[in-house]
Chain A
Amino acid sequence: MTDVDIQVRVNGIARRASVPPRLILADFLRVNCGLTGTHLGCEHGVCGACSVLLDGEAVRACLIFAVQADGAEITTVEGLAEPDGELSVVQAAFRDHHGLQCGFCTPGFVVSVTAFLEENPKPTDDEIRDALSGNLCRCTGYQGIINAVRAAAEALAESGGSASRDATAKETE
Protein backbone atom coordinates (compact mmCIF):
# COMPACT_ATOMS: atom_id res chain seq x y z
CA MET A 1 0.00 0.00 0.00
CA THR A 2 1.65 3.18 -1.19
CA ASP A 3 1.06 6.32 0.83
CA VAL A 4 -0.29 9.28 -1.11
CA ASP A 5 0.54 12.94 -0.60
CA ILE A 6 -2.43 15.17 -0.09
CA GLN A 7 -2.99 18.82 0.59
CA VAL A 8 -6.23 20.06 2.11
CA ARG A 9 -7.49 23.09 3.95
CA VAL A 10 -9.20 22.21 7.20
CA ASN A 11 -11.07 25.03 8.93
CA GLY A 12 -8.99 27.45 6.93
CA ILE A 13 -5.64 25.92 7.77
CA ALA A 14 -3.58 24.28 5.03
CA ARG A 15 -2.42 20.80 5.85
CA ARG A 16 -0.11 18.52 3.93
CA ALA A 17 0.09 14.86 4.76
CA SER A 18 1.18 11.55 3.35
CA VAL A 19 -1.58 9.09 4.06
CA PRO A 20 -2.37 5.47 3.34
CA PRO A 21 -5.12 5.32 0.71
CA ARG A 22 -7.44 3.40 3.00
CA LEU A 23 -7.39 6.10 5.68
CA ILE A 24 -10.95 7.33 6.09
CA LEU A 25 -11.35 11.11 6.04
CA ALA A 26 -12.94 11.01 9.50
CA ASP A 27 -9.87 9.25 10.90
CA PHE A 28 -7.61 11.73 9.11
CA LEU A 29 -9.47 14.59 10.78
CA ARG A 30 -9.61 12.95 14.19
CA VAL A 31 -6.18 11.36 14.38
CA ASN A 32 -3.93 13.26 11.98
CA CYS A 33 -5.45 16.69 12.54
CA GLY A 34 -6.53 16.17 16.16
CA LEU A 35 -10.00 17.45 15.36
CA THR A 36 -11.99 15.02 17.47
CA GLY A 37 -15.28 16.84 17.09
CA THR A 38 -16.06 14.71 14.05
CA HIS A 39 -17.51 11.57 15.57
CA LEU A 40 -17.81 8.05 14.26
CA GLY A 41 -21.13 6.47 15.19
CA CYS A 42 -21.47 3.73 12.58
CA GLU A 43 -18.64 3.96 10.01
CA HIS A 44 -20.96 2.77 7.28
CA GLY A 45 -22.71 5.92 6.26
CA VAL A 46 -26.00 5.81 8.12
CA CYS A 47 -25.78 7.73 11.39
CA GLY A 48 -24.40 11.02 10.10
CA ALA A 49 -22.33 11.81 13.22
CA CYS A 50 -19.24 12.24 11.05
CA SER A 51 -20.78 14.82 8.72
CA VAL A 52 -18.38 17.57 7.61
CA LEU A 53 -18.49 20.23 4.92
CA LEU A 54 -16.44 19.34 1.88
CA ASP A 55 -16.21 22.31 -0.47
CA GLY A 56 -19.34 23.61 1.23
CA GLU A 57 -21.45 20.48 0.92
CA ALA A 58 -22.37 18.22 3.83
CA VAL A 59 -20.82 14.81 3.35
CA ARG A 60 -20.22 11.73 5.45
CA ALA A 61 -16.56 11.68 6.43
CA CYS A 62 -16.74 7.91 7.00
CA LEU A 63 -17.53 7.31 3.32
CA ILE A 64 -14.65 9.30 1.87
CA PHE A 65 -10.99 8.37 1.86
CA ALA A 66 -8.66 11.14 2.90
CA VAL A 67 -6.93 10.82 -0.46
CA GLN A 68 -10.18 11.75 -2.18
CA ALA A 69 -10.25 15.05 -0.31
CA ASP A 70 -6.96 16.15 -1.84
CA GLY A 71 -7.28 19.79 -2.82
CA ALA A 72 -10.55 20.27 -0.97
CA GLU A 73 -11.69 22.78 1.60
CA ILE A 74 -13.02 21.01 4.69
CA THR A 75 -14.99 22.54 7.52
CA THR A 76 -15.54 20.50 10.66
CA VAL A 77 -17.70 21.36 13.65
CA GLU A 78 -14.64 23.00 15.20
CA GLY A 79 -14.64 25.50 12.36
CA LEU A 80 -18.20 26.76 12.70
CA ALA A 81 -18.00 29.06 15.72
CA GLU A 82 -16.32 32.46 15.56
CA PRO A 83 -12.66 32.43 16.50
CA ASP A 84 -13.53 34.19 19.76
CA GLY A 85 -15.81 31.29 20.68
CA GLU A 86 -19.12 32.90 19.78
CA LEU A 87 -21.44 30.15 18.61
CA SER A 88 -22.74 30.18 15.05
CA VAL A 89 -26.42 30.85 14.56
CA VAL A 90 -27.08 27.14 14.17
CA GLN A 91 -25.02 26.18 17.21
CA ALA A 92 -26.71 28.84 19.33
CA ALA A 93 -30.14 27.64 18.22
CA PHE A 94 -29.28 24.09 19.27
CA ARG A 95 -28.24 25.38 22.69
CA ASP A 96 -31.33 27.57 23.06
CA HIS A 97 -33.78 24.82 22.10
CA HIS A 98 -32.27 21.87 23.95
CA GLY A 99 -31.27 20.38 20.61
CA LEU A 100 -28.64 18.19 22.19
CA GLN A 101 -28.22 15.97 25.18
CA CYS A 102 -25.23 13.63 25.16
CA GLY A 103 -23.72 15.61 22.32
CA PHE A 104 -22.27 12.68 20.40
CA CYS A 105 -24.43 13.06 17.31
CA THR A 106 -24.46 16.85 17.64
CA PRO A 107 -21.48 17.79 15.43
CA GLY A 108 -23.05 15.87 12.54
CA PHE A 109 -26.38 17.60 13.01
CA VAL A 110 -24.86 21.06 13.34
CA VAL A 111 -22.72 20.64 10.24
CA SER A 112 -25.58 19.16 8.19
CA VAL A 113 -28.03 21.83 9.24
CA THR A 114 -25.49 24.52 8.41
CA ALA A 115 -25.25 23.21 4.84
CA PHE A 116 -28.98 22.67 4.60
CA LEU A 117 -29.89 26.22 5.59
CA GLU A 118 -27.34 27.58 3.12
CA GLU A 119 -29.21 25.78 0.37
CA ASN A 120 -32.72 26.19 1.74
CA PRO A 121 -32.94 29.23 4.01
CA LYS A 122 -36.71 29.07 4.45
CA PRO A 123 -37.55 25.42 4.91
CA THR A 124 -40.96 24.02 5.74
CA ASP A 125 -41.29 21.63 8.66
CA ASP A 126 -41.43 18.68 6.28
CA GLU A 127 -38.28 19.88 4.56
CA ILE A 128 -36.58 20.19 7.93
CA ARG A 129 -37.51 16.63 8.87
CA ASP A 130 -36.38 15.41 5.47
CA ALA A 131 -33.05 17.19 5.82
CA LEU A 132 -32.48 15.81 9.31
CA SER A 133 -33.32 12.25 8.35
CA GLY A 134 -29.72 11.49 7.47
CA ASN A 135 -28.60 12.05 11.05
CA LEU A 136 -29.52 9.76 13.92
CA CYS A 137 -29.99 10.98 17.48
CA ARG A 138 -30.85 8.66 20.34
CA CYS A 139 -31.33 11.22 23.13
CA THR A 140 -33.58 14.05 22.05
CA GLY A 141 -36.38 12.39 20.13
CA TYR A 142 -35.52 15.11 17.56
CA GLN A 143 -38.01 17.54 19.12
CA GLY A 144 -35.44 20.09 20.26
CA ILE A 145 -33.44 19.66 17.07
CA ILE A 146 -36.39 20.42 14.82
CA ASN A 147 -37.21 23.47 16.91
CA ALA A 148 -33.59 24.57 16.73
CA VAL A 149 -33.49 24.35 12.94
CA ARG A 150 -36.70 26.34 12.64
CA ALA A 151 -35.31 28.96 15.02
CA ALA A 152 -31.98 29.11 13.21
CA ALA A 153 -33.74 29.66 9.88
CA GLU A 154 -35.75 32.49 11.39
CA ALA A 155 -32.69 34.04 13.01
CA LEU A 156 -30.79 33.90 9.73
CA ALA A 157 -33.69 35.43 7.86
CA GLU A 158 -33.84 38.30 10.34
CA SER A 159 -30.12 38.95 10.33
CA GLY A 160 -29.67 38.29 6.63
CA GLY A 161 -26.68 36.21 7.62
CA SER A 162 -25.32 32.95 6.36
CA ALA A 163 -25.41 29.65 8.24
CA SER A 164 -21.75 28.97 7.64
CA ARG A 165 -19.02 31.50 8.23
CA ASP A 166 -17.34 30.62 5.00
CA ALA A 167 -19.88 29.80 2.39
CA THR A 168 -17.66 30.57 -0.55
CA ALA A 169 -16.65 27.18 -1.73
CA LYS A 170 -19.83 25.58 -2.95
CA GLU A 171 -19.29 23.29 -5.84
CA THR A 172 -20.82 24.72 -8.97
CA GLU A 173 -21.07 22.00 -11.54
Chain B
Amino acid sequence: MKPATFEYHAPTSAEEAVGLLADLDDAKALAGGQSLVPMLALRLAVFENLVDLRRVDELRGIETRDGSVWIGAGTTQATIGRSESIGLNVPLLARATPLIGHLQIRSRGTIGGSIAHADASAEYPAVALALDVELDALSPRGRRTIPAAEFFTGTWSTELEEDELLTGITFPVWQGRAGFAVEEFARRHGDFAMAGACVAVGVGADGRIDRCAISLFGLGPCARRATEVETELIGTSPADSDADEIGRTAMAGLDSVPTDLHGSASYRKRVGAAMVARAWRRALQEAVGD
Protein backbone atom coordinates (compact mmCIF):
# COMPACT_ATOMS: atom_id res chain seq x y z
CA MET B 1 0.00 0.00 0.00
CA LYS B 2 2.40 2.69 -1.26
CA PRO B 3 1.50 5.90 -3.08
CA ALA B 4 2.27 6.43 -6.74
CA THR B 5 4.96 8.92 -7.70
CA PHE B 6 4.39 12.67 -7.68
CA GLU B 7 6.39 15.88 -7.79
CA TYR B 8 6.55 17.79 -4.56
CA HIS B 9 6.27 21.53 -4.10
CA ALA B 10 6.45 23.45 -0.85
CA PRO B 11 5.69 27.12 -1.50
CA THR B 12 6.09 29.71 1.25
CA SER B 13 3.16 31.97 0.43
CA ALA B 14 -0.47 31.46 -0.45
CA GLU B 15 -0.01 33.40 -3.64
CA GLU B 16 2.81 31.14 -4.67
CA ALA B 17 0.71 28.12 -3.79
CA VAL B 18 -2.23 29.11 -5.96
CA GLY B 19 0.20 30.01 -8.72
CA LEU B 20 1.52 26.47 -8.61
CA LEU B 21 -1.96 25.01 -8.48
CA ALA B 22 -2.83 27.02 -11.57
CA ASP B 23 0.34 26.36 -13.52
CA LEU B 24 1.04 22.73 -12.80
CA ASP B 25 -0.78 19.88 -14.44
CA ASP B 26 -2.88 17.67 -12.22
CA ALA B 27 -1.94 19.46 -9.02
CA LYS B 28 -3.49 19.09 -5.61
CA ALA B 29 -3.00 21.03 -2.41
CA LEU B 30 -1.71 18.99 0.52
CA ALA B 31 -2.69 20.32 3.94
CA GLY B 32 -2.68 17.94 6.92
CA GLY B 33 -3.04 15.01 4.57
CA GLN B 34 -5.16 12.96 6.93
CA SER B 35 -7.77 12.28 4.24
CA LEU B 36 -5.62 12.73 1.16
CA VAL B 37 -2.69 10.50 2.09
CA PRO B 38 -4.80 7.36 2.73
CA MET B 39 -6.39 7.89 -0.69
CA LEU B 40 -2.93 8.20 -2.21
CA ALA B 41 -1.67 5.13 -0.32
CA LEU B 42 -4.59 3.07 -1.57
CA ARG B 43 -4.00 4.60 -5.02
CA LEU B 44 -7.62 5.68 -5.08
CA ALA B 45 -6.22 9.10 -5.88
CA VAL B 46 -3.18 9.87 -8.00
CA PHE B 47 -1.78 13.35 -8.70
CA GLU B 48 1.21 14.42 -10.71
CA ASN B 49 1.92 17.30 -8.36
CA LEU B 50 1.32 17.91 -4.71
CA VAL B 51 1.54 21.43 -3.38
CA ASP B 52 2.32 21.18 0.32
CA LEU B 53 1.04 24.12 2.38
CA ARG B 54 3.14 23.45 5.46
CA ARG B 55 5.46 26.38 4.89
CA VAL B 56 2.67 28.87 4.28
CA ASP B 57 2.61 30.52 7.69
CA GLU B 58 -0.11 32.99 6.77
CA LEU B 59 -2.56 30.08 6.66
CA ARG B 60 -2.23 29.42 10.38
CA GLY B 61 -3.56 31.28 13.37
CA ILE B 62 -6.60 32.13 15.43
CA GLU B 63 -7.59 35.79 15.68
CA THR B 64 -10.47 37.27 17.60
CA ARG B 65 -11.85 40.16 15.59
CA ASP B 66 -14.81 42.42 16.06
CA GLY B 67 -17.71 40.03 16.60
CA SER B 68 -16.01 37.16 14.92
CA VAL B 69 -13.13 34.72 15.10
CA TRP B 70 -10.85 34.16 12.14
CA ILE B 71 -9.11 30.83 11.87
CA GLY B 72 -6.40 30.21 9.32
CA ALA B 73 -7.23 27.27 7.07
CA GLY B 74 -3.99 25.53 7.97
CA THR B 75 -4.68 25.58 11.70
CA THR B 76 -4.72 22.07 13.06
CA GLN B 77 -7.67 20.54 14.80
CA ALA B 78 -5.46 19.94 17.84
CA THR B 79 -4.66 23.66 18.01
CA ILE B 80 -8.35 24.49 17.76
CA GLY B 81 -9.10 21.96 20.49
CA ARG B 82 -6.59 23.63 22.79
CA SER B 83 -7.75 27.19 22.06
CA GLU B 84 -9.49 28.89 24.97
CA SER B 85 -10.70 31.66 22.71
CA ILE B 86 -12.55 29.19 20.50
CA GLY B 87 -14.01 27.40 23.49
CA LEU B 88 -15.38 30.74 24.65
CA ASN B 89 -16.42 32.32 21.37
CA VAL B 90 -17.24 29.43 19.06
CA PRO B 91 -18.42 26.68 21.40
CA LEU B 92 -19.94 24.58 18.63
CA LEU B 93 -16.57 24.31 16.90
CA ALA B 94 -14.86 23.47 20.17
CA ARG B 95 -17.40 20.75 20.90
CA ALA B 96 -17.16 19.20 17.45
CA THR B 97 -13.37 19.01 17.52
CA PRO B 98 -12.88 16.04 19.87
CA LEU B 99 -15.27 14.05 17.68
CA ILE B 100 -12.87 14.20 14.74
CA GLY B 101 -10.95 10.97 14.34
CA HIS B 102 -8.36 10.44 17.03
CA LEU B 103 -5.71 12.53 18.70
CA GLN B 104 -3.04 11.51 16.19
CA ILE B 105 -5.33 12.65 13.36
CA ARG B 106 -6.14 15.95 15.02
CA SER B 107 -2.43 16.67 15.46
CA ARG B 108 -2.12 16.96 11.70
CA GLY B 109 -5.60 17.51 10.29
CA THR B 110 -6.46 21.10 9.52
CA ILE B 111 -9.73 22.96 9.57
CA GLY B 112 -9.27 24.14 6.01
CA GLY B 113 -8.40 20.67 4.81
CA SER B 114 -11.49 19.22 6.45
CA ILE B 115 -13.81 21.88 5.04
CA ALA B 116 -12.30 21.86 1.57
CA HIS B 117 -12.36 18.03 1.46
CA ALA B 118 -16.08 18.33 2.29
CA ASP B 119 -16.63 14.76 3.37
CA ALA B 120 -20.34 14.21 3.89
CA SER B 121 -19.73 12.62 7.29
CA ALA B 122 -17.22 15.11 8.63
CA GLU B 123 -18.00 17.42 11.54
CA TYR B 124 -16.35 20.69 10.48
CA PRO B 125 -18.32 21.25 7.28
CA ALA B 126 -21.53 20.84 9.27
CA VAL B 127 -20.29 23.28 11.91
CA ALA B 128 -19.31 25.78 9.22
CA LEU B 129 -22.69 25.45 7.62
CA ALA B 130 -24.62 25.80 10.87
CA LEU B 131 -22.72 28.91 11.87
CA ASP B 132 -22.90 30.55 8.44
CA VAL B 133 -19.17 31.10 8.35
CA GLU B 134 -17.45 33.06 5.64
CA LEU B 135 -14.78 31.25 3.72
CA ASP B 136 -11.84 33.19 2.32
CA ALA B 137 -10.53 31.83 -0.95
CA LEU B 138 -7.52 32.84 -2.97
CA SER B 139 -6.77 32.12 -6.61
CA PRO B 140 -4.55 33.72 -9.22
CA ARG B 141 -7.63 35.82 -10.04
CA GLY B 142 -7.67 37.25 -6.55
CA ARG B 143 -9.43 36.88 -3.25
CA ARG B 144 -13.10 36.26 -2.66
CA THR B 145 -15.30 35.36 0.25
CA ILE B 146 -17.75 32.49 -0.09
CA PRO B 147 -20.69 32.14 2.32
CA ALA B 148 -20.93 28.67 3.79
CA ALA B 149 -24.39 28.22 2.32
CA GLU B 150 -22.88 28.36 -1.17
CA PHE B 151 -19.70 26.45 -0.44
CA PHE B 152 -20.69 22.77 -0.32
CA THR B 153 -21.95 21.62 -3.68
CA GLY B 154 -22.02 17.83 -3.58
CA THR B 155 -20.03 14.68 -2.87
CA TRP B 156 -16.52 15.83 -2.05
CA SER B 157 -17.13 18.89 -4.11
CA THR B 158 -17.14 22.57 -3.22
CA GLU B 159 -17.36 25.98 -4.77
CA LEU B 160 -13.54 26.17 -4.86
CA GLU B 161 -11.91 26.12 -8.28
CA GLU B 162 -9.04 23.72 -8.85
CA ASP B 163 -6.51 26.50 -8.49
CA GLU B 164 -8.28 28.12 -5.59
CA LEU B 165 -7.18 27.76 -2.02
CA LEU B 166 -9.19 28.08 1.15
CA THR B 167 -7.13 30.48 3.27
CA GLY B 168 -9.27 31.24 6.29
CA ILE B 169 -12.64 30.87 7.91
CA THR B 170 -14.49 33.59 9.78
CA PHE B 171 -16.82 32.39 12.50
CA PRO B 172 -19.45 34.77 13.83
CA VAL B 173 -19.57 35.01 17.60
CA TRP B 174 -23.12 34.53 18.79
CA GLN B 175 -24.01 37.08 21.44
CA GLY B 176 -26.76 36.81 24.00
CA ARG B 177 -28.53 33.73 25.23
CA ALA B 178 -27.52 30.90 22.97
CA GLY B 179 -26.87 27.21 23.08
CA PHE B 180 -24.83 24.88 20.91
CA ALA B 181 -24.66 21.14 20.58
CA VAL B 182 -23.32 18.53 18.24
CA GLU B 183 -24.48 14.92 18.37
CA GLU B 184 -23.33 12.13 16.15
CA PHE B 185 -23.62 8.40 15.88
CA ALA B 186 -20.70 6.31 14.67
CA ARG B 187 -20.11 2.57 14.71
CA ARG B 188 -17.05 3.10 16.89
CA HIS B 189 -15.58 5.97 18.79
CA GLY B 190 -13.78 8.24 16.34
CA ASP B 191 -15.24 6.77 13.17
CA PHE B 192 -16.88 8.93 10.59
CA ALA B 193 -20.45 9.59 11.68
CA MET B 194 -23.27 7.56 10.16
CA ALA B 195 -25.52 10.47 11.05
CA GLY B 196 -24.97 13.64 13.00
CA ALA B 197 -26.43 17.03 13.70
CA CYS B 198 -25.26 20.44 14.85
CA VAL B 199 -27.67 22.78 16.54
CA ALA B 200 -27.16 26.45 17.35
CA VAL B 201 -30.07 28.24 18.94
CA GLY B 202 -30.54 31.72 20.35
CA VAL B 203 -33.27 33.01 22.63
CA GLY B 204 -34.30 36.64 22.48
CA ALA B 205 -35.22 39.05 25.24
CA ASP B 206 -38.85 38.00 24.85
CA GLY B 207 -37.87 34.44 25.69
CA ARG B 208 -38.64 33.26 22.18
CA ILE B 209 -36.27 31.58 19.77
CA ASP B 210 -34.77 34.29 17.62
CA ARG B 211 -31.91 32.45 15.98
CA CYS B 212 -31.72 28.86 15.00
CA ALA B 213 -29.50 26.69 12.84
CA ILE B 214 -29.64 22.94 12.35
CA SER B 215 -27.10 21.25 10.13
CA LEU B 216 -26.82 17.59 9.28
CA PHE B 217 -23.89 15.39 8.37
CA GLY B 218 -23.66 11.83 7.14
CA LEU B 219 -27.12 12.31 5.72
CA GLY B 220 -26.51 13.37 2.17
CA PRO B 221 -23.82 14.00 -0.42
CA CYS B 222 -22.46 16.76 1.79
CA ALA B 223 -23.36 18.68 4.91
CA ARG B 224 -26.81 20.27 4.66
CA ARG B 225 -29.09 22.59 6.63
CA ALA B 226 -32.59 21.76 7.79
CA THR B 227 -33.84 25.18 6.78
CA GLU B 228 -37.55 24.44 6.80
CA VAL B 229 -37.52 23.35 10.41
CA GLU B 230 -35.39 26.32 11.34
CA THR B 231 -37.86 28.72 9.81
CA GLU B 232 -40.75 27.11 11.67
CA LEU B 233 -38.92 27.40 14.95
CA ILE B 234 -38.08 31.08 14.77
CA GLY B 235 -40.41 33.04 17.01
CA THR B 236 -41.64 30.01 18.93
CA SER B 237 -41.32 29.49 22.63
CA PRO B 238 -38.69 27.00 23.77
CA ALA B 239 -41.27 25.41 26.05
CA ASP B 240 -43.39 24.53 23.02
CA SER B 241 -40.66 22.83 21.05
CA ASP B 242 -40.92 19.10 20.57
CA ALA B 243 -37.40 17.81 19.98
CA ASP B 244 -38.49 14.47 18.56
CA GLU B 245 -40.81 16.19 16.15
CA ILE B 246 -38.03 18.57 15.12
CA GLY B 247 -35.83 15.54 14.46
CA ARG B 248 -38.47 13.86 12.34
CA THR B 249 -39.21 17.02 10.41
CA ALA B 250 -35.54 17.61 9.73
CA MET B 251 -35.38 14.18 8.08
CA ALA B 252 -38.59 14.54 6.09
CA GLY B 253 -37.93 14.80 2.42
CA LEU B 254 -34.17 14.29 2.68
CA ASP B 255 -32.97 12.75 -0.54
CA SER B 256 -29.66 11.10 -1.50
CA VAL B 257 -29.10 9.71 1.98
CA PRO B 258 -26.28 7.18 1.66
CA THR B 259 -26.64 3.42 2.09
CA ASP B 260 -23.74 1.09 2.85
CA LEU B 261 -22.75 -2.00 4.78
CA HIS B 262 -23.23 -0.19 8.06
CA GLY B 263 -26.74 1.05 7.46
CA SER B 264 -29.43 1.86 4.95
CA ALA B 265 -30.72 5.33 4.11
CA SER B 266 -33.81 4.76 6.20
CA TYR B 267 -31.70 3.64 9.15
CA ARG B 268 -29.55 6.76 8.82
CA LYS B 269 -32.63 8.96 8.78
CA ARG B 270 -33.96 7.27 11.91
CA VAL B 271 -30.65 7.89 13.66
CA GLY B 272 -30.40 11.37 12.16
CA ALA B 273 -33.75 12.30 13.64
CA ALA B 274 -32.54 11.13 17.03
CA MET B 275 -29.31 13.09 16.72
CA VAL B 276 -31.21 16.27 15.81
CA ALA B 277 -33.54 15.75 18.74
CA ARG B 278 -30.72 15.11 21.18
CA ALA B 279 -28.69 18.07 19.95
CA TRP B 280 -31.75 20.27 20.03
CA ARG B 281 -32.51 19.40 23.64
CA ARG B 282 -28.97 20.07 24.76
CA ALA B 283 -28.58 23.28 22.84
CA LEU B 284 -31.93 24.61 23.94
CA GLN B 285 -31.25 23.74 27.54
CA GLU B 286 -28.04 25.70 27.37
CA ALA B 287 -29.75 28.65 25.74
CA VAL B 288 -32.58 28.93 28.24
CA GLY B 289 -30.62 27.72 31.22
CA ASP B 290 -28.53 30.89 31.69
Chain A residues packing against B (C-beta within 8 Å) = 1-2, 4, 20-22, 24, 27, 43-45, 48, 51, 54, 57-60, 62-65, 67-68, 70, 112, 115-116, 129-131, 133-135, 171, 173
For the complex, is B52 an interface residue (Cβ under 8 Å from A)?
yes
A115 touches B103 (CB 8 A): yes
Does B61 have its Cβ within 8 Å of any Cβ on chain A? yes
Residues from chain A with Cβ under 8 Å of B33 in the complex: 63-65, 68
Q: Which residue of B lies closest to A69 (CB)?
A: B54
**What is the interface of chain B, defined by CB distance below 8 A to chain A?**
1-8, 10, 30, 33-34, 37-38, 40-42, 50, 52, 54, 60-62, 75-76, 78-79, 98, 101-105, 107-108, 188-190
Which residues in B have their C-beta under 8 angstroms from that of A116? Answer: 103
Nearest CB in chain B: distance from A75 CB, A: 13
Q: Which residues of A contact B105 (CB under 8 A)?
A: 45, 60, 63, 134
The answer to whether B188 touches A133 (Cβ under 8 A) is: yes
Task: Collect the chain B residues with CB atoms within 8 Å of residue A70's CB.
Answer: 10
CA distance A130 to B190 in the complex (A): 8
Q: A24 to chain B: which residues have CB within 8 Å?
A: 2-3, 41
Chain B residue at minimal CB-CB distance from A58:
B104
Q: Quick one: which of B7, B8, B79, B101 has the most chain A CB within 10 A?
A: B8
Is A173 a contact partner of B75 (Cβ separation < 8 A)? yes
* Shortest Cβ distance from B102 into A: residue: A134
Closest 10 CB pairs of A and B: A134-B102, A21-B8, A57-B107, A1-B5, A43-B1, A44-B38, A63-B37, A133-B189, A22-B3, A173-B79
With a cutoff of 8 Å between Cβ atoms, the chain A residues found around residue B37 in the complex are 45, 62-65
- CB pair B5–A22 under 8 Å, yes or no, is yes
Q: Are A44 and B41 in contact (CB under 8 A)?
A: yes
A68 touches B54 (CB 8 A): yes
By beta carbon, the residue of chain A nearest B98 is A130
A22-B6, A115-B103 given; A173·B34 CB < 8 A: no
Task: Known A44-B42, A48-B102, A173-B75; judge A64-B7 contact (CB<8 A).
Answer: no
Contact present for A67 and B103 (CB under 8 Å): no
Smallest CB-CB separation from A48: which chain B residue?
B104
Check A60–B104 contact: CB distance below 8 A: yes
Q: If the complex has contacts A45-B37, A68-B52, are A59 and B108 also in contact, measured as CB distance less than 8 A?
A: yes
Partner of A4, one of B8, B101, B103: B8
Nearest A residue to B78 via CB reads A57
State whether A173 touches B60 (Cβ < 8 A).
Answer: yes
Residues from chain B with a CB closer than 8 A to the CB of A130 are 98, 189
What is the bound-complex CA distance between A63 and B110, given in angstroms? Answer: 13
| Complex contacts, B103 vs chain A, CB 8 Å | 58, 112, 115-116, 131, 134
Contacts A1-B7, A45-B37 hold; do A58 and B107 have CB atoms under 8 A apart? yes
Distance to closest chain B CB from A127 (angstroms): 10
Please, how many angstroms separate the alpha-carbon atoms of A93 and B33 in the complex?
Answer: 33
Which residues of chain B come closer than 8 Å to A43, judged between CB atoms? 1-2, 41
